[in-house]
Amino acid sequence: MRALMDVRAEEMAVGARDEFSVVGPWDSAVVPESVVACDRHWLGAYVHTACAQFHVPRGARVIEERPAGGRADGLHVVLGDVRVVISVHGAAKSEPLWQQHRNFMIEEIAAAGGDVSVVPGVGGERICAMLPGQEIVAAGVDGPRWMVRAVAYGYDFDGCDVHGLLDDLLADFVVFRGAGPVGPGLPLDMTVYASPVRHVTTPFSGVIDNSQERLI
């Protein structure tokens, strides 16, 4: 994994995701042009990847999760002692994927001796889990032929609004799924680029100093 950036500075069913929602994640086919164009000011930065764009808060670091010799299939957003792993997966249009992922995670955590509960959240039910030395909160949202998953890890979430952090990361998340075939559950390319995905030419490598509010 390679550090890419230092930023210093109503629950819906899958079918309803074809219509405009007041909060993300959105599909690029229905999201307002103003959001796709990133014409808003933030105390943070926009991250542009091959399949998505979203806002990260001030103080966050973004790290690619890249298997040896492969493309990035997830991003780690690190804020203080909390690490959120974000990934986008292909899905069948008629089969929501998050419930399958959620059930699989619950089985894995329970098998490892963890305590698991399911709680309501924006976009669908979330997992809250405790393992020895680690806490986990996992959120997922189904869209048209895709699913976004965000999993927060930390040693102790006391004093940290983890659900609020997940909500913020997903609130203006835009997915550029494309028309090509992607097997259900397979991750989409999360390689980070310097400019909005529709204008992508060169992968981004470097540091964004966003100590002042600015247009990204």
pLDDT at residue 178, rounded to an integer = 76
Distances (CA, A) of 177 to 50, 134, 160: 9, 33, 32
Which has more pLDDT, 98 or 5?
Answer: 98
Share of residues in the chain with pLDDT > 70 (%): 73
Residues 168/23, Cβ–Cβ less than 8 Å: no
Ranges of each domain in the chain = 26-203
- Residue 21: band (very low, low, confident or very high) from pLDDT cuts 50, 70, 90: low
Share of residues in the chain with pLDDT > 90 (%): 42
pTM: 0.78
pLDDT at residue 2, rounded to an integer = 44
d(CA 51, CA 190): 6
Give pLDDT tens digits for 144-164.
899 999 999 999 888 789 999
The amino acid sitting at 185 is G
Tell me how far apart the 2 most distant CA atoms of the chain are, in Å: 46
Distance of alpha carbon 108 from the chain centroid: 21
pLDDT at residue 62, rounded to an integer = 92
Which has more pLDDT, 205 or 61?
Answer: 61
Non-local (6+) Cβ contacts of 35 within 8 A are: 26, 172, 174
* pLDDT at 41 exceeding the cut of 50: no
Residues 58/4, Cβ–Cβ less than 8 Å: no
Q: For the domain made up of 26-203, give the CATH fold.
A: Protein Transport Mog1p; Chain A (3.40.1000)
Q: What is the rounded average pLDDT of the residues 121-125?
A: 87
Non-local (6+) Cβ contacts of 63 within 8 A are: 1, 2, 3, 4, 75, 76, 78
- Closest to 99 in 3D by CA, of 185, 189, 173, 171: 185
